[in-house]
Structure 1
Amino acid sequence: MTARHGWGVMRSSVHALFLRELRTRFGEYRLGYLWALLEPVAHMVVMLAIIGYLLHRTMPDISFPIFLLCGIVPYALFSNIATRSLNAVEANRGLFSYRPVHPVDAVLARSLLECLIQTSCFAVLLLILWLLGESMRLNDIPGLIAIWLALALLSQGIGFVFMVLGHAFKAADKILPILIKPLYFASGVMFSLHIIPAEYRWLVDWNPLLHAFELMRHAVFPGYPLYGVSLSYLWLCALAMSFVGLLLYKAREPAILRS
């Protein structure tokens, strides 16, 4: 039998951890995987009920449910990958005694599961809105995929940083989720960039999440106007954050395995 090395071993390890996460994430709930869909649906219903009418009047040419969907689900992808990476080491520590299993595999498995869940939610909810008569034109599916991949890569990079900080500092799992909460309000989940005067847009346009959400709305609804957002900037931030995250992980990996 030929020994496996490198990517083959890592792929098998991530696959096994992925299946383990899949079972533990939803196996204990009666509704199982439906919980993944119910969470963004409940969020959207509450938002539509509370502020839908008011914000609908300030929206540019786009359906408000579609506007919300292109903010809530992508933000859930970012938030869940980042926060679930915090305790990935502790949750799988017993498995690191096996040489093929590394902390990076546990984080990747959790991130892949989250990508699968949120991508499925996004596709299903788009289909539901289309069946309900909401107008949309998916003329740029490759562009939508590129935006989604860049957002996932950005989230993964932040996830690596959070994993390292979560191992280095005991209070990180309490503090870091609180620190990223303001991004929900600063990333355009509930507002369109067009309502901010041009001279003040620099206050928010540094945020790559804002670029991702606005680009996603334009990809789903081409009539939605864009103001200074850039797919290149989103990918640049994603690649830079991934590099920083992997660099921190590589420097910290021996200490993680020893602890």
Structure 2
Amino acid sequence: MRSSWNIMCTSVHALFLRELKTRFGEYRLGYLWALLEPVLQMAVMLAIMGYLMHRVMPDISFPVFFVCGIVPYSLFSNIATRSLNAIEANRGLFSYRPVHPVDAMLARSLLECLVQGGCFVVLMAGLWLLGEPMRIDNIPVLLAIWMALALLSQGVGFTFMVLGHAFKAADKILPLLVRPLYFASGVMFSLHVFPPEFRYLVDWNPLLHAFELMRHAVSPNYPLYDISLSYLWLWALSSLLIGLLLYKAREPAILRS
């Protein structure tokens, strides 16, 4: 008899393939479009922003600075917002006992992690080939940051999934709460622009810690002010725990509906 863990892994794998085919299977380039779409979008944004801003970042080139903000932000934003309809999109499958809503959420998050992770690698490799200064020997640190960010996004995703099921208006309201984080998380600014007495206004945000740590990992001379990997992991594990507890409390109601 297979263990519960094996059954769950099989279910997540099947839902992952279904999600991949649903999102990208109809395009002429097939599954290659899963990577090309975000890479092309962000390459265009990078070209436009780099041309418009021409600003000097502290010990880091603007393209590297921007990629280390926009790609991880897209990971968080996409996991959070796509979780809202994860239940509705897979409701017909929940009649099969091995399939649970948590499996659908994990499959969506896994696909998003692979897409955005691949996008980050391609863009950074392209910038490196173009001669942008960066360090590529801090891979373990980068992986630790990406893992913490993925867990943080997953925890928020579980919470949004539960709220999206409990309140019909949530799919309209919650995305509006995510969008301001683009401006409050350091995607377009460095923490050094804030005077020390005003940094408390933004340094509570774990996304800011993730982006600044990522920039420091690829450019060690990039300054860090009141930024902590431990703080990021504390938020990640706390959000995941809260999300799982909310899901566990609402799972019977979700399955009954």
TM-score range, shorter chain: over 0.9
CA gap of 1:138–1:47, structure 2 versus 1, over 3 A, is: closer
Verify: 1:34 aligned to 2:33, yes or no: yes
| Stretch of structure 1 that moved more, 40-49 or 72-81 | 40-49
What CA deviation, in whole Å up to 9, does each residue of 1:18-42 have, x standing for no partner? 1111111101122333354333543
Segments of 5+ residues of structure 1 without an aligned counterpart are: none
* CA–CA separation in structure 1 for the residues paired with 2:220 and 2:40: 24
Q: Which residue pairs with 2:83 in the alignment?
A: 85
What CA deviation, in whole Å up to 9, does each residue of 1:30-76 have, x standing for no partner? 23333543335434433542x43564434111111010000011001
What CA deviation, in whole Å up to 9, does each residue of 1:148-175 have, x standing for no partner? 0000000000000000000001111111
Q: Which residue pairs with 1:181 in the alignment?
A: 179
* CA–CA separation in structure 1 for the residues paired with 2:51 and 2:250: 49
- Per the alignment, in what secondary structure is the counterpart of residue 84 of structure 2? coil
Percent identity (aligned)? 74
Verify: 1:14 aligned to 2:12, yes or no: yes
Say if 2:55 and 2:62, in contact at 8 Å, map to a contact too.
no
Q: Which residue pairs with 2:44 in the alignment?
A: 45
Equivalences for residues 55-66 of structure 1 within 5 A: 55-66=53-64
Q: Which residue pairs with 2:136 in the alignment?
A: 138
CA gap of 1:196–1:41, structure 2 versus 1, over 3 A, is: farther
* CA–CA separation in structure 1 for the residues paired with 2:204 and 2:5: 35
Correspondence for 2:249 among 233, 248, 251: 251
Correspondence for 2:168 among 170, 181, 192: 170
Say if 1:52 and 1:64, in contact at 8 Å, map to a contact too.
yes
Divergent runs of 4+, >2 A: 30-49, 51-58
CA RMSD of aligned residues (A): 1.4
- Per the alignment, in what secondary structure is the counterpart of residue 82 of structure 1? helix
* CA–CA separation in structure 2 for the residues paired with 1:47 and 1:191: 14
- Per the alignment, in what secondary structure is the counterpart of residue 226 of structure 1? coil
- What TM-score, normalized to structure 1? 0.95
Verify: 1:110 aligned to 2:108, yes or no: yes
Q: Which residue pairs with 2:193 in the alignment?
A: 195
Q: Which residue pairs with 2:203 in the alignment?
A: 205
* CA–CA separation in structure 2 for the residues paired with 1:46 and 1:88: 28
Verify: 1:72 aligned to 2:70, yes or no: yes
- What TM-score, normalized to structure 2? 0.96
* CA–CA separation in structure 1 for the residues paired with 2:34 and 2:19: 15
What CA deviation, in whole Å up to 9, does each residue of 1:85-139 have, x standing for no partner? 1101000000000001000000000000100111111111111111111111123
* CA–CA separation in structure 2 for the residues paired with 1:220 and 1:34: 27
CA gap of 1:11–1:162, structure 2 versus 1, over 3 A, is: same
Q: Which residue pairs with 1:25 in the alignment?
A: 23
| Stretch of structure 1 that moved more, 232-241 or 216-225 | 216-225
One-letter identity of the residue aligned with 1:254? P
- Per the alignment, in what secondary structure is the counterpart of residue 101 of structure 1? coil
Q: Which residue pairs with 1:242 in the alignment?
A: 240
Say if 2:210 and 2:229, in contact at 8 Å, map to a contact too.
yes
